[in-house]
Chains A and B, each alone.
Chain A
Amino acid sequence: MMSATVTGKPEEPIVATKNYLTEEGITLRSWLLTRDHKRIAILYTLSLTFFFFVGGAAATLIRLNLVTPSGIFTPDIYNRLFTLHGIVMVWFFLIPSIPNTMGNFLIPLMIGAKDLAFPRLNLLSWYLYVGAGLLALFAIVIGGVDTGWTFYTPFSSLYSNGYVVLALAAVFAVGFSSILTGLNFIVTTHRMRAPGMTWYRLPVFVWSNYATSIIMVLATPVLAITLLLVAVERLLRVGIFDPALGGDPLLFQHLFWFYSHPAVYIMILPGFGVISEIVPCFARKPLFGYKFVVWSSIAISVIGFFVWAHHMFVAGISLYAGLVFSLLSYVIAVPSAIKVFNWTATLHKGWISFDAPMLYALGFIGLFTIGGLTGLFVANLAFDVHVTDSYFVVAHFHYIMVGGMVSAYFGGLHYWWPKVTGRLYPEWWARIAALLIFFGFNLTFFPQFILGYLGMERRYYAYPPEFQAWNIFSSAGASVLAVGYALPFFYLGWSLFRGKRAGANPWAATGLEWQTPSPPPTHNFDRTPTVTRPPYQYRPEPEPQDV
């Protein structure tokens, strides 16, 4: 990857030989001991891609199993597959995805800083992440885990026959990686902004990573304690969650969702940030209602702490608790709606072009809107009684996390690819991939709403035959989706060697990150920039490139 930027076709001029990919040398050692936030971002991207394919492989097998009502694998294999899928996708892909790759790369560039506040801590956080991921894979190789990613007790603490403690340890460790990243971003955003970069001149991407970091730092310790308690109960048989030993199974759910509901916002807020960068750029207009978008992120990160029990409407919480938590869930839906309206309004009277990042962003808005609206269904007390734990919920959270977050991830990847690598990718292929992902996604997950309403429960390796037709649609969609997700791997890889040189600012965008060469030098800026204008000062006619 790194050598790509200096080779290239002989007739092409080598634009910037001095950049972060080459300056520190290209030895393995220089990469594994680097403290440059941009190199660490690359390390994250490579390892995250690996975990995405591991989780994706499990998803493919799951959908394969569900083509026939009787299933193909044994129940235990199937149960281990969806657990593997859930654990890897949630903790080793979604949570670190945008913050640790693009956040790491871009936050210092966007605020005009030379690096993050704590470069060594940043590297440590990557080692924790990779170590934890390998530990989780080790647990799977030696036998697997069958608890689902939620580890509900007393099943996980006493009844499961998998390698639960190893999996708990892996999630525990990766949690510390998030905490360190969150701390680093918060301090960096407070202390390292360039002169003139006031809070209201920060790009929304920085704001949403800031809001995400608050959640990471405040919520993750609760998860760590909860997992520790499950391990203690499992190893020492003391009664914490199992009523047979005098414990309380609902205590686990309260603790777990106290982390995990805010965590779903860790999985989506950074996506909002990416979309808020892309839409103004390709609509050539300032973001509509910048301050509202900023404060809705902050509102989400705060209210997100008060809705956890909406995952427990049928678990045996009191009627009164149900009424309160449902109301709060409706309250938190409002700031998400605000964002959708604002992105749409940004298009009004724009000068819109449909390059690949914009296609991903438009796809994101569509899928996230469906996911968010079905959030209103599951947040509804009575309706949740019928659909919770069914495929309706599976469809709902996939629309948000996969339709939303993964589309945003791909959108961001394409948008900043030229900045990161100095190369352009083949536009035509990128558009095809964006369309395939959008259609494949809907074909895969829309039938699951219907299946859920019909009564197909989640985590079933076999199901009644009357559900087969919709399952076949869903599996067919999954194969389209798989092709869509695999394509970028090839054409982006190709672009590293053959892609056209990008120049500093191929999209004529306004952010600070575009004012330094592509790829940027190790110290980011030759001269510390001074900021004099709010973000997103776009005009209809694109300005000439490389100003």
Chain B
Amino acid sequence: MGSLQLLPPTASSHAADMDWLFAALLGVSAFILLLVFGLMILFCVRYRKGSRVERGNRLGRTWRVEVAWTGLTFAAFLVLYFWGAELYVRIHSPPAEATDIYVVGKQWMWKIEHPGGQREIDALHVPVGKPVRLVLTSQDVIHDFAIPAFRIRQDAVPGRYETLWFTPTEVGEYRLFCAEFCGTLHARMGGTVVVMEPSDFQRWLDSQDPGPSLAQEGEALFRSYGCSGCHGGTSTVHAPKLEGLFGRPVPLEGGRSVIADDRYIRTSILMPKAEIAAGYPPVMPSFAGQIGEDDLLKLVAYIKSLADRTAANSQAESMERPAQ
């Protein structure tokens, strides 16, 4: 039988902030609680039936009191609101240098893919002190990826990408859970997060089955699904080139524009008519139902790897080094 723990381990950049927020919430609550309980007990004792205390004039008009306590309560609530909102925005704004790690939920396991192609199941290895951005999705029902020691969680929703980031701050092993009910073995859908020294982490990465990286595999898929037929360097079809696309704003038909992120790329593959890039005919067919979640991740990783290239040098490169 475990001992009476009071706080979970604090092992990420968000954990300390969350604990401070918790302390603030506790502080405000304790104040209100003591006030209410204190007064209740005081009144119950002092004004119990039969006690001979002077009851004097009872308060008739109440609205001043009402306005005062309503205003004060609301002001205290607003402080808590802004505090939490600010941290929430931070949890959802990853730094530019964060490494992307892909997480796919499936009844009942977590499949994790590192950018170098290393894969793991129900385990996540990360280096201490380096920001990590998680990109989550699910292959079947809704799951929820939760790491209490890092104070983060996010639903993995089929058909969508959700992201969230953290910087691990303490070397060690922490628990990882599925928190959204997902069927029979929901309670067993969890594992371990291993935070390592960067050098150990590098050694771990090297010791894993090297395999092709996600982007390399994506490149092969890019050809086999026929994407390169239109988007490739030598294509004659009027389709947007994908080099340098990722992370930039894309003007859309109708005047809006969106940032080309994981979600945008995924939508463009599955629902090409949803967000049509301005100036191109909407001729791309939908690949919904043909490309599985795993392959989609690889394609996105490939297109992401093209972020820093221009169309010209990638054409030159692909002439030098034809596909394997």
**Interface residue ranges, A against B (CB under 8 Å):** 71, 75-76, 79, 146-148, 152, 154-155, 159-160, 242-244, 246, 248-250, 283-285, 288-289, 292, 313-316, 319, 322-323, 326-327, 330-331, 333-334, 337-338, 340-342, 344-345, 347-354, 362, 365-366, 369-370, 373-374, 376-377, 380-386, 388-390, 450, 453-455, 457-470, 472, 540
Contacts and interface: CB of A to CB of B under 8 A. Distances in A.
Contacts of B178: 457
Interface of B: 1-8, 17-18, 21-22, 25, 28-29, 32-33, 36-37, 39-40, 43-44, 47-49, 55-56, 58-59, 62-63, 65-66, 69-70, 73-74, 77-78, 80-81, 83-89, 91-92, 107, 140-142, 144, 146, 148-149, 151-155, 157-160, 162, 175, 177-188, 288-289
A461 B69 CA distance: 44
B18 A469 contact: no
A370 B66 CA distance: 21
Contact of B186 (A242, A384, A460, A540): A460
A469 B58 contact: no
A468 B2 contact: yes
Contacts of A390: 146, 179
A242 B8 CA distance: 35
A283 B48 CA distance: 8
A200 to B, nearest CB: 14
A383 B22 contact: yes
A35 B62 CA distance: 42
20 contacts: A75-B184, A152-B142, A155-B181, A155-B182, A292-B63, A316-B157, A330-B80, A338-B70, A344-B40, A352-B44, A354-B48, A362-B40, A365-B40, A376-B25, A380-B81, A382-B86, A453-B8, A465-B1, A466-B2, A469-B1
B151 A386 contact: yes
A152 B180 contact: yes
B146 A457 contact: yes
A386 B15 CA distance: 9
B260 to A, nearest CB: 18
Contacts of A323: 85, 88-89
A382 B162 CA distance: 16
Given A243-B158, A338-B73, 10 more contacts: A284-B49, A292-B66, A326-B81, A337-B69, A338-B69, A348-B47, A376-B28, A386-B148, A457-B146, A457-B187
Contacts of A362: 40, 44
Contacts of B87: 381-382
Contacts of A354: 44, 48
A381 B188 contact: no
Given A453-B8, A455-B177, A382 B55 contact: no
A147 B184 CA distance: 10
Contact of A159 (B89, B180, B183): B183
A380 B47 CA distance: 38
Q: Which 3 A-B pairs have the closest CB atoms?
A: A243-B159, A455-B148, A382-B87
Given A454-B8, A454-B148, A155 B179 contact: no
